[in-house]
């Protein structure tokens, strides 16, 4: 059955590297839908029906279909199973109908007014999570949420030129050993110094809780279509606007090349103006 194949695939993969929650979650969707089906009997129509039932966005379904294709390919190539390549067969029609598509690159940056409103909101609705610190930290550090909540006191190097270690930073090729020292620019070191030391983590909070607090604030303030991850976009864009070069910004954001960094960068036209040299 598909459930048995997915289980075998995950167990084998886990011997070599950790399996992400994203991959497990996406494969769980296939198990819920087609788990009891024998893989040798899967058809393209099964794929179409699954995607129709899911009612998810095309970018989400592209990822979900890709994970299924990996599992089926492993069955064919590693364990000599007779499995039709239904994922490849279904892709052309799914693309034409718009059921799957590449993710749309976001260019959303928070406005100054939105950031001011968020700061004011969390000044009076701080709760147990210091969102009034985490939001400016996310911008000035240009870190992902997962990186922020993984920062440890033992990896913090304060001083005139403060730095911090990001452990196992996301990398398409190698995450497990990708530990990276980064500079703490702007207000980041000051924000770290202001946090209470209650354990090994500087920001000992769950990503879901931070995300939920951010969304509630945006709803209350009627801020439309702003995601927490857009703060990372804002941070990268500000660095370019301040005059940092591509290699310098990449040290902060962790990107390996300009192509991947470019999608996080949305410069404002006004930032291209330069001060005129003073006249004698």
pLDDT tens, position by position, 219-250: 999 999 999 999 999 999 999 889 888 889 99
For residue 256, the model assigns a pLDDT of 77
- Tell me: pLDDT of 202 over 90: yes
For residue 280, the model assigns a pLDDT of 53
Report the alpha-carbon distance of residue 145 to residue 211 in Å, rounded.
9
**C-alpha 212: how far from chain center:** 16
pLDDT tens, position by position, 13-41: 989 887 887 899 899 999 999 999 999 99
Total Cβ atoms within 10 A of residue 132: 18
Please choose, from the candidates 118, 152, 38, 130, the residue with its C-alpha nearest in 3D space to the C-alpha of residue 84: 38
Pick from 86-95, 147-156, 163-172, 202-211: least confident? 163-172
- Tell me: pLDDT of 127 over 90: no
Confidence grade of residue 107 (pLDDT, cut at 50, 70, 90): confident
Please choose, from the candidates 33, 22, 34, the residue with its C-alpha nearest in 3D space to the C-alpha of residue 59: 22
Confidence grade of residue 55 (pLDDT, cut at 50, 70, 90): confident
Residue 89 in tokens = 């067969």
Which pTM value belongs to this model?
0.69
Pairing of strands 180-183, 163-166: antiparallel
Confidence grade of residue 166 (pLDDT, cut at 50, 70, 90): very high
For residue 203, the model assigns a pLDDT of 97
Better pLDDT: 90 or 257: 90
Report the alpha-carbon distance of residue 8 to residue 18 in Å, rounded.
15
Residue whose structure tokens are 């036209």: 269
Please choose, from the candidates 162, 226, 216, the residue with its C-alpha nearest in 3D space to the C-alpha of residue 151: 162
Contacts 24+ apart (CB under 8 A), 271-279: 271/240, 271/241
């Amino acid at each position: 059955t598909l459930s048995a194949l997915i289980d075998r695939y995950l167990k084998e993969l886990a011997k070599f590297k950790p399996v992400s929650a994203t991959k497990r979650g996406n494969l769980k969707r296939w198990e819920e839908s087609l788990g009891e089906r024998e893989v040798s009997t899967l058809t393209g129509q099964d794929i179409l029906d699954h995607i129709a039932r899911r009612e998810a966005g095309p970018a989400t379904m592209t990822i979900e279909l890709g994970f299924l294709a990996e599992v089926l390919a492993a069955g064919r190539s590693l364990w000599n199973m007779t499995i039709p390549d239904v994922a490849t067969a279904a892709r052309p029609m799914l693309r034409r109908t718009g059921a799957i598509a590449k993710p749309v690159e976001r260019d959303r940056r928070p406005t100054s007014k939105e950031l001011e409103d968020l700061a004011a909101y969390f000044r009076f609705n701080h709760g147990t999570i210091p969102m009034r610190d985490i939001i400016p930290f996310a911008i000035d550090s240009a870190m992902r949420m997962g990186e922020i909540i993984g920062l440890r006191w033992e990896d913090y190097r304060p001083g005139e030129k403060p730095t911090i270690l990001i452990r196992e930073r996301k990398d398409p090729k190698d995450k497990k050993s990708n530990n990276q020292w980064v500079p703490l620019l702007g207000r980041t070191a000051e924000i770290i110094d202001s946090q209470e030391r209650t354990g090994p983590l500087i920001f000992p909070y769950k990503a879901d809780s931070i995300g939920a607090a951010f969304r509630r604030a945006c709803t209350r303030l009627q801020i439309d279509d702003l995601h927490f991850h857009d703060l990372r976009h804002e941070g990268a864009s500000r660095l370019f606007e301040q005059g940092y070069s591509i290699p310098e910004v990449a040290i902060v954001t962790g990107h390996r090349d300009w192509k991947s960094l470019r999608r996080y960068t949305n410069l404002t036209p006004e930032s291209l103006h330069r001060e005129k040299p003073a006249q004698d």
